[in-house]
Structure 1
Amino acid sequence: MASTEDKAASKENASSWKDSFYNPRTGEVLGRTASSWALILLFYLVFYCFLAGMFALTMWVLLLTLDDYVPRYRDRIPTPGLVIRPSTLDITFNRSEPQKYEVYTKELENFLEKYNDNVQEMNSECTPGVYTKKDEDQEKMDKVCPFKRTSLRFCSGLTDNKFGYPEGKPCVLLKLNRIIGLMPDGDPYINCTIKKDNPVQMHYFPREGKIDKMYFPYYGKKAHVSIYQANSSRLELFVEIKHQCCKAESSRAYTVRLFHS
């Protein structure tokens, strides 16, 4: 008798569990009829479309307040930074082992390729020593001053594609980061100092490490797509020299340590 009652209860539970997903008597699925599901889905569709529309409207109003050429806040970066190539603060190599400095020379060559004369044919000649400004009625600055690799002389890679590394006189390129509207007073220049008392002589190209004022001011990426504000320094001697002897032959490993302050 008890067994029969247990079987009946089990069948009733199974039927109730199935009816919770689909009830054939009322046609409900998960407790809702087809019309109820249609209404709830329509509600959420309209609700989320409304939220998306509000978000799009808010973004549109925000973008209307922004300038395409000048950022709203420009006081967070008071001075421009420097980019060093090769991209390392410690340049260590042995000039008798070309594979040690090959990675540096390849990086320098790749960095300077975009400043070849054939790449800058569309750029306009500018007056040296004078700021290159746009007219007040101009929305865009359509004049871009070219940067000649030849101004880097021995560090241009045109006459020496090894950039002095086989002779133990490595070239180091320094590139000034761009800041919109920056107009430096006087003649901007880069000066490298040595923190240790070592007999180091540095040659700058262009001469005296000067950056011509014709590359200033910068009006933004949309106006100055390929402008280059740069300087390079060629180290004739070295900050640190290490001697290593092997089989009565002397070889030197040169280390250049660069600091930006």
Structure 2
Amino acid sequence: MAALKEKRTCGQRCEDFGRFVWNSDEGTLMGRTPEKWVYISLYYAAFYVVMTALFSLAIWTLMYTLDPYAPDYQDRLKSPGVMVWPNTYGEEHVEITYNTSDKASWMKMRNIIDDFLKPYNDTKQRECNTYNCTRGKYFIQNTFTAPNHTKWACPFTQSMLGACSGFEDPTFGYNCSMPCVIIKMNRIINFLPTNHTEPPPYVNCTVLDGQDNVDKIEYFPTNGSMDLSYFPFYGNLAQPTYVNPLVAVRFNLVKEKQARIQCRVVSKKISYENFHDPYEGKIIFSLKAMK
């Protein structure tokens, strides 16, 4: 039977540790001579210098090959998404519900649209976007001719939304049963929604449920079209003053004054039947006016 290992006292253990840290007999510091510590320190210093240089070179090469004005890969964005304002989301989709008898209720909807339209203020747009764009034609820009090495952007003013601009009716129809909604198509860099010979994309709204509750649908600008001069979009860096073209839709609610509505941007290059992305090319929302 092997002999039991002798137990060492705390003092002995401390003495052994001290000898490990500095052994005066062999002249070692933590098991190595000062000369070996110099060699190993130089090795690791050189190793991390080389690794840092390689990492820096890789990052520099990546940044040098990237285009700051457009992402290299846009394969996930086949068609633009579509959004609606007021953007009041429920559990599954947008639910625009308000009470015409409750000022706080319809003022909430009015304020959401009013805040959204602030960048479209007529005065601000005339100051930011001074270029005279040709209507009905794509605004192709191959060079950076605008100030500060940017590209021009066409102005879209709040007044172009007509009866839904908030100028004629500051409540946007939410104090009664004729509410306005704003439809916006999301941006995709260099996206052209139609062929050059086709008409511009336009918004078309259909009532999915409650057809008898909607007496009339009106579009602003006329026919709900998005002029081709707002395309293509070249990116926020290239066009810092760009604003999306909008379409306002006014509904005249009658009877039960509620409906489920789908608004989609109609164009051959914009799909809307993607099951995995319910907002691609279209937006579905509920509209309900209580009293």
Q: TM-score range by the shorter chain?
A: 0.7 to 0.9
Distance 2:39 2:110 in 1: 69
CA contact (8 A) 1:134 1:141 kept: no
Moved more, 219-228 or 186-195: 219-228
Q: Give the letter aligned to residue 67 of structure 1.
A: D
The answer for the alignment partner of 2:159 in structure 1 is 150
SS in 2 for 1:181: coil
Cα offset, 1:45, TM superposition: 2.5
Moved more, 51-60 or 71-80: 71-80
CA contact (8 A) 1:203 1:234 kept: yes
Q: Does 1:95 align with 2:100?
A: yes
Pick one of 190, 199, 202 that aligns with 1:189: 202
- TM-score, structure 1 length as denominator? 0.80
User: Which is greater in Rg?
Assistant: 1
Cα offset, 1:50, TM superposition: 1.3
Cα offset, 1:166, TM superposition: 0.6
Cα distance, 1:12–1:241 mapped onto 2, change above 3 Å: same
The answer for the alignment partner of 1:111 in structure 2 is 116
Distance 2:76 2:31 in 1: 59
Cα offset, 1:21, TM superposition: 3.7
Distance 2:246 2:152 in 1: 18
Distance 1:72 1:47 in 2: 33
Q: Please list, as runs of the form range in 1=range in 2, the aligned pairs for 1:47-62 lying within 5 A after superposition.
A: 47-62=47-62
Q: Please list, as runs of the form range in 1=range in 2, the aligned pairs for 1:11-50 lying within 5 A after superposition.
A: 11-23=11-23, 28-50=28-50
Q: Please list, as runs of the form range in 1=range in 2, the aligned pairs for 1:1-261 lying within 5 A after superposition.
A: 11-23=11-23, 28-87=28-87, 88=89, 89-120=94-125, 121-123=127-129, 124-135=131-142, 142-183=151-192, 184-185=194-195, 186-199=199-212, 200=214, 201-228=216-243, 229-237=245-253, 241=256, 260=279, 261=282
Cα offset, 1:12, TM superposition: 2.9
Unaligned runs of 5+ in 2: 1-5, 264-278, 283-291
Calculate percent identity across the aligned residue pairs.
34
Cα offset, 1:122, TM superposition: 3.0
The answer for the alignment partner of 1:246 in structure 2 is none
Higher helix share: 1
Distance 2:231 2:7 in 1: 91
Q: Give the letter aligned to residue 129 of structure 1.
A: G
Q: Give the letter aligned to residue 227 of structure 1.
A: Y
Unaligned runs of 5+ in 1: 1-5, 243-253
- TM-score, structure 2 length as denominator? 0.72
